[in-house]
Amino acid sequence: MSISDDAEFSDAWRRDGPRVAAYVRRHVPPDDVQDVVAETFVQAWRRWHDVPRPPIAWLIAAARKVVGNSRRSARRRGALHDRLVLLDVAARPSEDAGLLATDRVAALEALAALPEEQREALLLIAWDGLTPDAAAGVLGIRPGTFRVRAHRARAALHELSSPADPRAALPNRPLTEGGLR
């Protein structure tokens, strides 16, 4: 980069940095805002000759991609944690600990075997107590699409259950008060 490019980039940082931060602030937790803005400007620095002038639209588009990457990374990091928490909860003793723990572990294993989208559909209904319309809103999909996803998840759980032992995939007791509707 030349001296004029350095100056132009610095001007963009001062002028557009706060606008990019305002955009990012609407999409990530406060602790992550500066990291996303910094990554956005690192990408701009690397490709400064390709960035159109004025750069604000390009910077916000780049920030949007960084936000998406950040969310995907967080989901991947959280997936293992979530599974461990579920197994920990399932392993807690209760009044009929032997049967309940076996039932819970079987249900959790069946849920873990489902594709992420189907598992999330069932959990939003059964564990979070949402209606299908509300769950569709949470996922940002149409209610009909959600209902198909939940139907497929239930069908997959049914296939996972063994005819010899109907408790193999799901417990006799509901996973929550609402159960797997």
Residue with tokens 């996922």: 139
Beta-carbon contacts of 142 under 8 Å, excluding residues fewer than 6 positions away, are 136
Per-residue pLDDT of the chain (181 residues; tens, 9 = 90+): 688 889 999 999 999 999 999 999 999 999 999 999 999 999 999 999 999 999 999 999 999 999 999 888 888 778 767 776 776 766 666 555 555 667 777 778 888 888 889 988 888 888 777 889 988 988 899 999 999 999 999 998 888 765 544 444 444 444 444 444 4
Closest CA to 110 of 41, 159, 169: 169
Task: Tell the CATH topology of 92-160.
Answer: Arc Repressor Mutant, subunit A (1.10.10)
Determine the pLDDT at residue 64: 94
Determine the pLDDT at residue 39: 97
Residue ranges per domain, the chain?
Answer: 3-74, 92-160
pTM: 0.46
Determine the pLDDT at residue 146: 95
Q: What is the pLDDT of residues 80-129, one digit of tens each?
A: 677 767 767 666 665 555 556 677 777 788 888 888 899 888 888 887 77
Determine the pLDDT at residue 159: 84
Where would I find the H helices in the chain?
A: 3-25, 33-46, 56-91, 97-113, 116-126, 132-139, 143-160
3-74 and 92-160 share one CATH topology?
no
CATH architecture of 3-74: Orthogonal Bundle (1.10)
Determine the pLDDT at residue 5: 87
Q: Phi-psi region for residue 34, left (φ > 0), alpha (ψ -120 to 50) or beta? A: alpha
